Amino acid sequence: MKLIGNITFKGDKSISHRAIMLASICNGESIIANVPDSEDINSTISALRNCGISIKKNNYQLTIIGNTFKTPKKEINCQNSGTTMRLLSGLLSFKKIKCSLIGDSSLSRRPMDRIVGPMNELGIKATSNKGYPPINLIDFKDTKLDNITIDLPSAQVKSCIIFSLLGTRKKIRIYEKFQTRNHLELMIKSLFKELITVNEEYIEINPINCQKMNGFNIEIPGDISSASYFIVAASLIDKSRLVINNLLLNKSRIGIIDSLIKMGANIDISYDKKMNSLNEPTGTVIINGVKALRAVNISPDHIPSMIDEIPILSLACAYAKGQSTISGLDELKYKESNRLNGIYNILSSMGVDVKLNKNSIKINGSNKLYNTNKLNNCNDHRLAMMISIAQMKENNLIEYPECINISFPDFKNILDKVIS
């Protein structure tokens, strides 16, 4: 069995959330093409509709009429989506909408002090339930700060802060201790240049009249996190060949490709000459399967560029020659499930020699994995897809649990198309 084909992916989930939210605060109509029909994106759409925003869906294209906010009649349910809850809290603070944001049982266990703390520092009266949802947005004052520093490696925190500061009356700088995905900065810079200054050191939000932001027309490039399952699978299976077009290749997101290349994968990248309208680099990635990958050491500073790809990277390590070490995985404990424990349990159940030590994991590769079916995916989409790829590689029955629809409803269709 091998993977052969030419494929593309629906738009990147992180960029889609941000584009939809940005459109909601612009005047008039925005058109956003290639938006995935994933449950997380639908959570953002329904949350904004509950705040009075008109969003029409036509296949994978959204038409959004912005700036018609009204206070929601009841709590806003962000369901499973941490990005929805964290970014929307910032956005609704900018719009001075008093409301409460809730989530499902997984989201209700995820830390929110990371946004409530900085929002309070900025002058927004917001509360959480002892650091967890619900979040209540209570009152909004102009910030007195000149700068704010983000201590955690979290793009969600950064984007929450940027959204909340859009109506600032004075310049304010945001410093990040760790570099994280920069989609919102790039998007604002490409559409409303005068609003933001971005350089290696800081992001500066400039005081401008946000009432002047007008709707836009963009297309979202293919989701690199969804593609990662196929990039790993094709790398692991000799004689595979996949060509992926129109893929997001932002440096802050392609840690998985860099890591696989270090492991000896045969991956060729060609960047599109013209930058995508969002200032995002895109391109074509060609993967040819190899006989074997070799072990790799990943240090903490590389983790933000592949934070959602650690489960599938761990599976690649489980098949690589030698012992791999991935360090700096603290943030994995706070995802849709405790993914660090999840990875450990899944790989151990498959017979892999794996050791967990606080925030790092050591994986001894082997040629074959066992018992790949009926494993506990913790109802976490990324763990579920990691397991499906192991099942495929071992020629076992491939399971497609429903939770995969959280990020990647096309997963099965695309896999069916390329398996030969």
**Beta-carbon count within 10 A of 84 CB:** 29
Can residue 14 be called a binding residue for ligand S3P (CB under 6 A)?
yes
- Nearest distance from residue 364's CB to ligand S3P, in Å? 27
Q: How far is the CB of 74 from ligand S3P (least distance, A)?
A: 26
Q: Judged by CB, which is closer to ligand S3P: 156, or 337?
A: 156
Residues 321, 318: Cα–Cα separation, whole Å: 8
Q: Which of 223, 308, 380, 410 is catalytic?
A: 308
* Smallest gap from residue 221 Cβ to ligand S3P (A): 14
Q: Which residue in the set 115, 155, 188, 414 belongs to the binding site for ligand S3P (CB under 6 A)? A: 155
> Which residue, 163 or 319, is less far from ligand S3P as judged by CB?
163
For residue 385, state whether it binds ligand S3P (rule: CB under 6 A).
no
The contact mask relative to ligand S3P for 105-144 (x = CB under 6 A, - = no) is ----------------------------------------
Report the residue number, 155 or 244, with the smaller CB distance to ligand S3P: 155
Q: Which residue is nearest to ligand S3P (CB)?
A: 14
- 226 belongs to the binding site for ligand S3P (CB under 6 A): no
Candidate residues 39, 309, 331, 380; the one interacting with ligand S3P per rule CB under 6 A: 331
Nearer to ligand S3P, 223 or 410 (CB): 223
Q: Give the shortest CB-162-to-ligand S3P separation in angstroms.
A: 11
Asked if residues 347 and 314 have their Cβ atoms less than 8 Å apart, the reply is yes
Q: What does 329-385 look like in DSSP terms, one character per residue?
A: -GGGGGSSS-HHHHHHHHHHHTT-EEEEETTEEEEE--S-----SS---TT-HHHHH
Do residues 86 and 115 lie in contact, with contact meaning Cβ atoms separated by under 8 Å? yes
**Binding segment for ligand S3P among 24-32, 57-65, 148-156, 372-380 (CB under 6 A)?**
148-156
The distance of closest approach from Cβ of residue 253 to ligand S3P in the complex, given in angstroms and rounded to an integer, is: 10
Contact 16, 35 (CB under 8 A): yes
CA distances from 312 to 163, 213, 267, 373 (A): 31, 39, 16, 16
Rounded to a whole number of angstroms, the minimum distance from the CB of residue 152 to ligand S3P is 8
State how far the Cα of 61 lies from the Cα of 118, in Å rounded to an integer. 34
* Binding of residue 337 to ligand S3P (CB under 6 A): no
Q: Cα separation of 279 and 188, whole Å?
A: 10
Three-class secondary structure assignment of 313-332: HHHHHHCCECEEEECCCHHH
Query: Among 53-61, 153-161, 226-234, 251-259, which window interacts with ligand S3P (CB under 6 A)?
Result: 153-161
Take residue 86 and report the two structure tokens written for it: 């964290």
- Nearer to ligand S3P (CB atom), residue 150 or residue 317: 150
Q: Where are the beta strands (DSSP E) in 44-145?
A: 54-58, 61-66, 76-77, 99-102, 124-129, 132-140
Task: Give the residue carrying structure tokens 């000896």.
Answer: 264
Question: Whole-angstrom Cα distance, residue 238 to residue 187?
Answer: 39
Q: For strand 172-176 and strand 147-150, is the pairing parallel, antiparallel, or unpaired?
A: parallel
Residue partners of 42: CB distance under 8 A and separation at least 6 = none
| Contact flag: residue 83 with ligand S3P (CB under 6 A) | yes
Closer residue to ligand S3P in complex, CB, 382/393: 382
Tell me whether residue 135 or residue 418 sits nearer to ligand S3P (CB atom).
135
Is 308 an annotated catalytic residue? yes
Write out the binding residues for ligand S3P, residues 278-307 only, by CB under 6 A: 307
**# chain residues binding ligand S3P, by CB under 6 A:** 12
Q: Does 154 bind ligand S3P (CB under 6 A)?
A: yes
Told to check if 16 binds ligand S3P by CB under 6 A, we report no
Of 65 and 248, nearer to ligand S3P (C-beta) is 248
Cα-based distances in Å from 332 to 69, 140, 271: 34, 32, 30
Pairing of strands 172-176, 203-205: antiparallel
Lookup: tokens for 124: 């927004």
**Residues of this chain that bind ligand S3P (CB under 6 A):** 14, 17, 83, 154-156, 159, 180-181, 307-308, 331
What amino acid positions are annotated as catalytic residues?
308
